[in-house]
Amino acid sequence: MKYLVITLLAVTTVVAQKTNRKLVWEENFDGSALSEKTWNFELGDNGWGNHERQDYTKVNHRVSKGFLTITAKKDGTHYTSTRITTKGKQEFQYGYMEARLKLPKGHGVWPAFWMLGSDINTSQWPHCGEIDIMEYVGREPHMIYTTLHTTDTHGATASSKKTEFPNIEEGFHVYAVDWNADRMVFFVDGQAVYTYQPSPKTKGNWPYDQKFFFILNLAIGGDFGGPEVDDSIFPQEYVIDYVRVYQ
């Protein structure tokens, strides 16, 4: 999938601010299993509208020592991974949302930390809106995508920015969005990389005055991940340290 890259406001002087905000929710992945009071497993064959190759299962992950690890595997011609959401369980309107993540590597991986509008069952996509706080595709090393999908701009014409970080594949990094009724600012390790602030706001370009839920997943291939996959890279791990929301 290609994106139309749009910069609506310079953000070089914006600073990630959590001052005077309260930590209202956090997931630290304590214990030895995901809590299904918080998380839903989305299961199914490959595709998901993006021609991805993986099947999503309940078994391609582990929770240990305060980390969630999603593992993408290949067995013969069969690819598997895990996708989880907080739909109907933890949903938020506005705030500072962040996650500390360690990315997988290699041509074909497509990890993401993102959000969808809580009205997706009635408004459907892209009318419900989508907030991609972090997307990474192994075919483009060192690049992080931050993207908004709306009725006006979605899919190949999404409002998006990609930013180069030479060492992003090494160790953990923090990805965040600061979202209020006026605009969204995206951050990587506290560095502002993209601001979305359409004017005037319409239903077509701003479906963001409602609650959204989180999604964590590791896709393989697909329209955005790339049609070619290097099978020699598997297994690959996407490690999540925490997810936090400040308001």
- Say if residue 200 is preceded by a cis peptide, omega within 30 of 0: yes
CA nearest to 132, candidates 111, 105, 156, 102: 111
Query: Distance between CA atoms of 80 and 59, rounded to whole angstroms?
Result: 9
Query: Distance between CA atoms of 50 and 22, rounded to whole angstroms?
Result: 37
Given the DSSP bridges, would you call strands 212-220 and 91-92 parallel, antiparallel or unpaired? Answer: antiparallel
Which tokens go with 11? Answer: 């953000």
Which H or E run contains 222?
helix 222-225
- Residue pair 78/60 in contact by the 8 Å Cβ criterion: no
Catalytic residue among 91, 135, 169, 237: 135
Active site residue 130: yes
- Residue pair 237/73 in contact by the 8 Å Cβ criterion: no
Catalytic residue among 130, 140, 169, 228: 130
Query: Distance between CA atoms of 202 and 196, rounded to whole angstroms?
Result: 13
Where in the sequence numbering do the catalytic residues fall?
A: 130, 135
